[in-house]
Amino acid sequence: MKRLFNSIITLALLTLSGCATTTPRNESRLDIISRRNSLVCGISGKIPGFSFLDSNGQYSGLDVDICKAFAAAFIGDSSKVEYRPLTAAERFTALRTGEIDVLSRNTTFNLSRDSIGGNGLSFGPVVFHDGQGVMVSKKSGINSLYDLASKSICVGSGTTTEQNINDALESLSIPYTPIKYQDLNQVVSGYRQGRCQAMTSDRSQLAAARSSFPDSTDHVILDETLSKEPLSPASVGGDQKLSDAVRWVIYALISAEEKGITKDNIKMKLQLAKDNPQLKPLRRFLGVEGDLGKKIGLSNDFVFKVISSTGNYGEIYNKNLGSNSNVPIPRGLNKLYKKGGIQISPPFN
Amino acid sequence: MRISKGIFVQITLAISLFLLIFILFNNLYVNLINKQIGFTFNWLLRPAGFALSESSLNYSPSNSYAWALFVGWINSLKIILSSLIFSTLLGIIVGLFSKSKNKLLRKFSSIYVGLIRQIPLLVQLMFWYFVVFLGFNNSNNDHYSHFFSVSNKGINILNLNLTTEFSALLFGLSVFTGAYIAEVIRGGINSVPSGQWEAFKSVGLSEIQGVFYIIIPQSLPAIIPGLTSQYLNLAKNSTLAIAVGYADIYAISDTVINQTGRAIEGFLILLLSFLFLNLIITYAMEFLNRFVIANQNRRIR
């Protein structure tokens, strides 16, 4: 009897202590990351060119390099990243429950996900401008969306992709059957095995999937683009310190490319800034003068740390998606604004 | 005195349990409000905006989320009931094989049970879907195709058309659960004293007559509880449907949660719908159990 009462009291105490720990804290996630001395980064792990295990068993890709840039800026060491492969359906819950610090998983930036009334996230700048496309085999004779009438289309569930194909085909009154899988690999298998006459996903993912087909030249991506898919890293909403840091690390990558600062020449540029007090914008950018880094809760030389470990945005793009990489995707919209694309960084003032 | 003490303990326990649940739920609720996420079900009435690959009821993307989830629940019910029937038939046949005099049948039964129980269900489903069904030819031009045809578009029996996803799931779940049911049946038959076998032989019944009139009725009380838990497992295993692209309740709520961002409410609905489904199975089997026991008592009297 005594034991029973004791256990009840323990239970009650446990419950109360549970209450105490779940009350919202005002500490920023950024402080937790630097105290922990490692960054937990959510990625996909299944998309070549974005996040994929390479032959050495290491994750590589554009999304992975973005994680490394964050770690370099937040902790000062780009190798202090713990990668969490997540499915499309898991990713937002993982972020909101604090299982991961930042999400760098080819995630489309849209209103519902960014808003308090929706997923309640905070999105950083776009790291890859994508658009949804449809891939078919050349033999199928499908040349446009209208040819998809009454066909089966393989699509990943729990993605904006699913909604976009429906919006596009419904507005054209084209009936179709969606075959939904949870995972991109299954979407590809379903398409390869002939369950569907077409598969739809972001054009970058279609290109990545096609690169692994033995008969890759027999498949075409239709010209029609169904949607804008700006892919951005995200952090939890309501934490301005962390979302500012995320935002300006990405802009630093773009800004470095605008200024022609690369991984190889950054030491030289730093010396140049130190020697020439009249080069004010460069000095501010590299943290030689002013306190831009401190204003966003990072060290003043965060740009130097980031660029010297990952290189600028253009270098990251060329390494993972450039014409000599395994998954070549033309840079298109992702070129700098000066070169006909739309990538631009606000000023570091 | 002793009784009142017992009641006192029970009441305290009940109150603290309710308190615990209340505190936990309140905690969640308050935190959700604090994080400005909130806890509501209003979104259920909004249009879903996604299409489904198969639905037994009328469904279009402009129907509500609630309707989409209900269609998913019906799809789940469809796959669970049909694989329940097939796995039971398969289990009975294989279970009887294991007691057969024929060595080949006994061997077949033990290999089947051994093999199936060692391979994870997910792997088996992937096998049925990607290797077996999607491996079939796309051609429909053989002369049997009016009555029965199998292609990578699914199974056609007269006017009934089963999709590839449904067929693969039906085969995978039935074959998997069938192996477990066969073991339950074998255990039940073993529970009948061997004297009963000698007895029916001595009154001149054949093997088959004896098994159906004497052995099986007596083994039912031992079989039904085991069968119930296999049926419940089958119902829960059906959520692996998402791996082979079948639109069951779990696959649909996955999409719904992702589109609305309502993870907690979505999972609550999912949990309740499975609770409801499994309670139906439990009560139906309970009813069957009582019927069998009552029947047996009457016979003994």
With an 8 Å Cβ cutoff, is B138 touching chain A? Answer: yes
Tell me what the mean pLDDT of segment B224-233 comes to: 94
Q: Indicate whether A127 pLDDT > 90.
A: yes
Give the pLDDT band (50/70/90) at residue B301: low
Average pLDDT across chain A, whole number: 88
**Closest chain A residue to B10 measured between Cα atoms?**
A4
pLDDT at A309: 95
Residues B163 and B268 in one domain: yes
> CB-based contact (8 Å) between B124 and chain A?
no
pLDDT more than 70, % of chain B: 93
Q: Quick check: B60 pLDDT over 90?
A: no
Per-residue DSSP letter, B215: I
B147 shares a domain with B20: no
A222-to-A169, A237, B122, B148 alpha-carbon distances in Å: 14, 36, 34, 36
Closest CB from B37, B49, B254 relative to A120: B37
Cross-chain Cβ contact A194/B164 below 8 Å? no
Put simply, whether B35 touches A (Cβ < 8 Å) is yes
Q: Domain residues for B273?
A: 50-300
| Same domain, residue pair B1 and B103 | no
Two tokens, residue B39: 């806890």
pLDDT digits (tens, 9 = 90+) for A181-209: 888 888 999 999 888 999 999 888 888 88
Is the pLDDT confidence value at A23 over 90? no
Return the pLDDT at B40: 83
User: Which pLDDT belongs to residue A2?
Assistant: 55
- Average of per-residue pLDDT across B207-224: 88
B32 in the same domain as B65: no
What mean pLDDT do residues A100-126 have? Answer: 91
Range of weakest confidence among A260-269, A333-342, B160-169, B231-240: B160-169
Confidence of residue A48 (pLDDT cuts 50, 70, 90): confident
Greater confidence, B27 or A261? A261
Same domain, B199 and B269: yes
A111 touches chain B (CB under 8 A): no
| pLDDT, averaged across chain B | 87
Q: Work out how many domains chain B is built from and give that number.
A: 2
The strand pairing partners of A221, in sequence order, are A135
Query: Considering the domain boundaries, does residue B131 fall inside one?
Result: yes
The CB density around residue A10, as the number of other CB atoms within 10 Å, is: 10
Q: Could you tell me which residues come within 8 angstroms of residue B277 by beta carbon, excluding any fewer than 6 positions away? A: B73, B76, B77, B80, B235
Which CATH number does A131-228 carry? 3.40.190.10
Considering the domain architecture, whether residues B193 and B112 belong to the same structural domain is answered as: yes
Within-domain flag for B45: no
Q: Hey, are the CB atoms on B134 and A195 less than 8 Å from each other?
A: yes
Q: Which residues of A touch B244 (CB under 8 A)?
A: 181, 186
Residues B12 and B82 in one domain: no
Question: Could you state, in order of their start, the residue ranges of all structural domains in chain A?
Answer: 131-228
What digits encode the pLDDT tens for the residues A253-307?
999 999 999 999 999 999 999 999 999 999 999 999 999 999 999 999 999 999 9
3-class DSSP state of A330 = coil
Residue B89 belongs to domain with CATH number: 1.10.3720.10
- Residue B270 has a pLDDT of 93
Is residue A100 predicted with pLDDT exceeding 60?
yes
Q: What angle do CA A327, A328, A333 make, to 5 degrees?
A: 120
For range A86-94, the mean pLDDT: 86
